[in-house]
Structures are given as structure tokens and as C-alpha cells.
């Protein structure tokens, strides 16, 4: 079973990398980009066969390691 975790900074947390990308796009002539939020995608290949158990396990991984829950939110997709 596969899982995909998308981790993004929470709303209100300054995204310095996103701002750098936004600025760079503007200098390259891509006008009209008012904001960029950058995050990360983590794909996991799991031995688990039960969908509900896999989701619980991946959420625990996020809480303990994959996301800094003070400043980041995450979304889990079981594929």
C-alpha cells in the first residue's frame, strides 16, 4: 500500500522559500504571481494492507517526525 503526505507551512507562518520563488518568477517575467507557498511531498511504500490502520500509522509518523506540527500542517492520502 502506498501513502502520500503533503506538508505545508500553516497559514500565517512566513514562507521564506515561497517568497524567494515568487520574487524569482517576477524577475523571469512571470507577472501576476501574488504569492507562493512551498511545501514537501513524501511518498511512503507501506507493508500494511489495512487502509484504516495505514492511515493511523502514517498520521503517527507525521506527528512524530515528518511534520513540525507547531508550524506545519499535513494531509495524508492512502493510495
Mean of all residue pLDDT scores within the chain? 97
At 64 the pLDDT is: 98
Domain harbouring 66, CATH code: 3.30.1280.10
Residue 3 has phi, psi (to 5 degrees) of: -135, 145
| Cα Rg, the chain, nearest whole Å | 16
Residue 78, judged by CB atoms within 10 A of its CB (0-12, 13-18, 19+), counts as middle
Q: In terms of residue numbers, what domain contains 10?
A: 2-78
Q: How many domains does the chain have?
A: 1
Using one digit for the tens of pLDDT, what is the confidence trace for 17-50?
A: 999 999 999 999 999 999 999 999 999 999 999 9
> CB within 8 A of 40, min separation 6: which ones?
6, 7
Using one digit for the tens of pLDDT, what is the confidence trace for 55-74?
A: 999 999 999 999 999 999 99
How far is Cα 62 from Cα 32, in angstroms, rounded to an integer? 34
pTM: 0.87
Amino acid at each position: 500500500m502506498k501513502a502520500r503526505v503533503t506538508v505545508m507551512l500553516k497559514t500565517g507562518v512566513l514562507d521564506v522559500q515561497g517568497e524567494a520563488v515568487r520574487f524569482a518568477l517576477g524577475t523571469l517575467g512571470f507577472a501576476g504571481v501574488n504569492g507562493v507557498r512551498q511545501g514537501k511531498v513524501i511518498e511512503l511504500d507501506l507493508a500494511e494492507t489495512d487502509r484504516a490502520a495505514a492511515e493511523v500509522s502514517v498520521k503517527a509518523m507525521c506527528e512524530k517526525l515528518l511534520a513540525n506540527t507547531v508550524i506545519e500542517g499535513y494531509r495524508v492520502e492512502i493510495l
